[in-house]
Amino acid sequence: MTTHSSDLEPIQAVGDPLPDPGLPPHEHRLTDTDPKAAKRVERQVAAMFGIATLASIGFLVAYVALPLDGDLNRLQLSNILLGLFLGLSLFLIGIGAIQWAKKLMPDVEMVQERHPLESSPEDQQGAIAAFEAGAEESGIGRRKLIRNSLLGAAALLPLPVVFLLGDLGPLTPPPPEVLAKTIWKKGTRVVNDVTFEPIKPSDLQVGQLVNAMPASYEELPEEAHTERLRVRASASVLLIRMERGEFTVPEGREGWDIDGILCYSKICTHVGCPISLYEQQTHNMLCPCHQSTFALAEGGKVVFGPARRSLPQLPLEVDAEGYLAAAAGFDQPVGPSYWQRLEVES
């Protein structure tokens, strides 16, 4: 190492290869040299301040002239005028001041030399001495009981905050099957969303779309808000009808449709948005959140977008009274991925 140390010696520059160019020559503004220009700018600034005054008066006039009496149209006009006048007033005072400063105020270039941020040695000595004197007088070094109890109190202070974080979610994750199962089971009727009317296969025409729910959703008590939301977010489905031959039936899903009526989960497998942008000619279902597109004529497979899993399909049957119902629950968890999904599937 020592043999090479001489190579690393910095080379002293002879003279300065890039001398400090200094400040560029001062150029005078037009308003500095031409009194006419200065006068013109003065008038501009005065005009801005003048209009600002008028705008303030306009605000007051609009406020008095448009009393709010619950009429939405008047409220709209009042909002626009008040905002416009107040904004105009502030804006014109602002740009007037800037114009004044830029064009008319003294145009002298100031140079402020930088200096080190460090305090002087005397100040540093003084601060250290004051700190030490304070520490000595408080007796924190001598009175160990106080010092240690203070340390303990300070150390435990963040704990309540940390514990509050626990309220952000359940400390123990729900068992995997809670997320894996929906309330669909064999015999659950497929009913219209909003109206909750049961649906007969003959009600659906080719090209039809029905936003549907399980009939058991309506039976949930009104006050079970969380449960109702959970069911809505997991068990919402779509019914569509296609001509026979327009769609392919994936292996293992034979008999899942009723005369071309297919039922798919309405929950996107990407991040769980409700999807129902259905193009009846292409049979594509588009998610409005991130444009994942599912080909419902091909078993709900993803044809575009960030989703990675097909849209789960619900097998259908016709019950004794002739209404559409689920022939079984979903054969896979619906909606987006979650930690224990693999456990459920394996």
Partner 1 sequence: MTALLAKRRHPLAAVVVMAAALAALAGLYALVSPASQASTTTATSTQVEEGRQLFLVGCSSCHGINAEGVIDDAGNVLGPSLIGVGAAAVDFQVGTGRMPMARADVQAPKKTAAYTEEQTAALAAYVASLAPGPAIPDADQFDPAQGDVARGGELYRTNCAQCHNTTGQGGALTLGKYAPKLTGVEPVHMYEAMLTGPQSMPVFSDDVLTSEDKRDIIAFLTNVQGEPNPGGVGIGRIGPVSEGLWVWLIGLGALIGVAAWLGAKSS
Binding interface with partner 1 (CB under 8 A): 29-31, 72-73, 75-76, 79-80, 83, 95, 98, 102-103, 107, 192-195, 197, 199-200, 202-211, 240, 274-282, 284, 286, 288, 291, 293, 304
By the 10 Å C-beta count (0-12 exposed, 13-18 middle, 19+ buried), 130 is classed as exposed
Measure the N-to-C terminal CA separation of the chain; round to a whole number of Å. Answer: 61
Please report how close the Cβ of residue 73 comes to partner 1 at its closest, in angstroms. Answer: 5
Instruction: Say which amino acid occupies 205.
Output: Q
Which residue number, 51 or 344, has a Cβ lying nearer to partner 1? 51
If you count them, how many residues does the chain have? 346
Please report how close the Cβ of residue 79 comes to partner 1 at its closest, in angstroms. Answer: 5
Please report how close the Cβ of residue 132 comes to partner 1 at its closest, in angstroms. Answer: 48
Contacts of 151 (CB under 8 A, 6+ apart): none
Instruction: Say which amino acid occupies 105.
Output: M
Which residue number, 97 or 328, has a Cβ lying nearer to partner 1? 97
Please report how close the Cβ of residue 232 comes to partner 1 at its closest, in angstroms. Answer: 11
Taking Cα atoms as reference points, which of 277, 282, 261 lies closest to residue 204?
Answer: 261
Which residue number, 179 or 262, has a Cβ lying nearer to partner 1? 262
Please report how close the Cβ of residue 281 comes to partner 1 at its closest, in angstroms. Answer: 6
Are 232 and 213 in contact by the 8 Å Cβ rule? The answer is: yes
- Rounded to an integer, what distance in angstroms lies between the CA atom of residue 230 and that of residue 187? 21
By the 10 Å C-beta count (0-12 exposed, 13-18 middle, 19+ buried), 266 is classed as buried
Which residue number, 40 or 181, has a Cβ lying nearer to partner 1? 40
Which residue number, 179 or 296, has a Cβ lying nearer to partner 1? 296
Please report how close the Cβ of residue 151 comes to partner 1 at its closest, in angstroms. Answer: 48
Q: Which two tokens stand for residue 44?
A: 């501009």
Q: What are phi and psi for residue 225, nearest 5 degrees?
A: -60, -45
Which residue number, 131 or 304, has a Cβ lying nearer to partner 1? 304
SS3 (DSSP) at 240: strand
